[in-house]
Amino acid sequence: MQRAMNQENCAIERRLVVHQPLAPLTTLGVGGGAQYYFLAETAEDVAAACGWANQRQLPIRILSGGSNLVVSDAGVPGLIIDMQLRGMSVECNGSFVFVKAAAGEIWDELVARVVECGYCGLEGLSGIPGRVGATPIQNVGAYGQDVAQSIVCLEAYDQLENAVVTITNQQCEFDYRTSRFRAKDRGRFIILSVSFRLALEGAPRASHAELMQRLDIDNATVQQMRNAVLALRRSKSMVFDRVDPWSRSCGSFFLNPIVPAVVAEAIQSQTATRQAPLYPLAGGMTKIAAAWLIERAGFSRGHREGAVGLSEKHSLAIVAHGQATARDVCRFARRIQAAVMERFNVELLPEPVFWGYGALHRGLPDPDEMG
C-alpha cells in the first residue's frame, strides 16, 4: 500500500507546476502565483492531489474559471487544483430532461447546448463566465433564474470522509448567491459534477425590466431569451472578452443588500429623484439594487482612481486597468463600501472570493493587508 501511495505521489509531482501565475487564469487579471498548481482531469486526479496536499498539510483551493476571484499580489500558498473534468449526458423522463455535466465544463457552452435543444431552465444564465462546478457554490443567478431552481443533485469529493458523495438540492442549502459550500462547509467538498432537471419544452421566464424591454416574453423561445440575455450582458461588458477592457472584472463586485422593509423605505425617502429599485422578499425584507446605492454614494459609472475604477457600462463592476494590482482593487472596493455605509447606513458585501489573504473585514481583506 505504501509503495502504491508513493507511486501515486510521484505521478502527481510530475504534473505539478511550481509558482504558476494566476492572474492570466482569472477574469480580473491581477494577483500573484500559486505555490503549487495541478490540472485535474478526472475524479481520481482530484482525490490523489488532495492526498498529496494533505500529507504535506497544505491548504487546497479549487480554480473553476477564475471569474469570481481576487488573488492577492503576494500569491496563494498551498495547492491550487484547476478543475478540467469534462463530459455531459442527457436522459429524458416524461416532460423533463436530466442533464449531467462534469465540473470542468464551460458554463456558457453547457447553456448554449441545452438551449439549442430547446430545453428550458438555464437560458437566463447565458453569458456567465466560469465552469459548471462553480455554479452551485454561490447559487449563480441572473434575470429571474438561478441554478437552485434546476439543480437536482451534485457529486462531490468529500475531503473529510475521503469519498465521493451525492448531495441533493435540499442538502445544498441554497440561498441568495450562496450555499453550504460557501458557508458552513467552505472548503470541505470539491464538486465533480452537477445534474440539472430542465423542461423538455416550455416558455422562458423573465422578470427583469431591461430584459423584458428587449423581448416579447409571452411569445419568446428559449433561444430568443438567450440571445436577448447575451445582448444585454454584452452591452454592459458582462460577457468576458479579452479584447473588451471593460470586461476585465469579477462581474458584479457587490451583492444586492437585503434589509428590513422599513429600512428600504427610509432609504428611498432620502432621494428626491429616481427612487431606489426595491424588490420585496418574504419575511418583511427587501432587496435593494447595490448599483443604485453605489452611484448615489458618489461613484458614477466610469469613476476611476488610478489603475482601477467602475465600468462605464455597469456600476457594479470594478475594472482593473493596465498594471492594476489586487491591492488597488481591494482599496477601491473598501472606499465604495465605506461611502455607501456613510450615506445610507447599509453594508455592501462583496460577491467574489479572496485568495491569499488572512482574515476578512466586512467581507474584504483587512486594510493592513491592502497597504
What was the pLDDT predicted at 369? 63
Q: How confident is the model at residue 144 (pLDDT cuts 50, 70, 90)?
A: confident
| Residue range 313-371, pLDDT digits in tens | 999 999 999 999 999 999 999 999 999 999 999 999 999 999 999 989 999 998 666 64
What was the pLDDT predicted at 159? 96
| Residue range 234-260, pLDDT digits in tens | 999 999 988 899 999 999 999 999 999
Q: How confident is the model at residue 273 (pLDDT cuts 50, 70, 90)?
A: low
3-state DSSP: the chain helix, strand, coil percent, rounded to 5?
Answer: 30, 25, 40
Q: Which phi-psi region, left, alpha or beta, contains residue 19 (left: φ > 0; alpha: ψ -120 to 50)?
A: left
Q: What positions carry a catalytic annotation?
A: 177, 252, 351
What was the pLDDT predicted at 274? 65
**Mean pLDDT lowest among 182-186, 214-218, 274-278:** 214-218
Q: What is the mean pLDDT of residues 94-101?
A: 96
CATH topology (fold) of 245-370: 3.90.78
Return the CATH architecture of domain 89-235.
Answer: 2-Layer Sandwich (3.30)
What was the pLDDT predicted at 243? 87
Judge if 89-235 and 245-370 fold alike in CATH terms: no
Does the pLDDT value for residue 1 go beyond 60? no
Share the mean pLDDT of the chain. Answer: 93
At residue 6, the 3 state secondary structure works out as helix
> pTM for this structure?
0.92
What was the pLDDT predicted at 147? 98
What was the pLDDT predicted at 269? 82
What was the pLDDT predicted at 188? 97
Alpha helices per DSSP H over the chain: 2-15, 43-55, 107-116, 169-172, 209-214, 222-235, 261-269, 290-296, 326-344, 367-370
Cα three-residue angle 282-286-290, rounded to 5 degrees: 140
Distances (CA, A) of 150 to 110, 114, 127, 190, 224: 14, 13, 17, 20, 20
The CATH number for 2-83, chosen from 3.30.43.10, 3.40.50.300, 2.60.40.2470, 3.30.70.270, is 3.30.43.10
Q: What is the mean pLDDT of residues 117-137?
A: 96
How do strand 258-260 and strand 285-288 relate by DSSP bridges? antiparallel
Q: Where are the domains of the chain?
A: 2-83, 89-235, 245-370
Does the pLDDT value for residue 288 go beyond 80? yes
Q: How confident is the model at residue 272 (pLDDT cuts 50, 70, 90)?
A: low
| Residue range 7-46, pLDDT digits in tens | 667 888 899 999 999 999 999 999 999 999 999 999 999 9
**Mean pLDDT lowest among 3-7, 26-30, 210-214:** 3-7
Alpha-carbon torsion (197, 198, 201, 207), positive or negative: positive
Burial of 219 (0-12, 13-18, 19+ CB in 10 A): exposed
Phi/psi at 208 (nearest 5 deg)? Answer: -85, 125
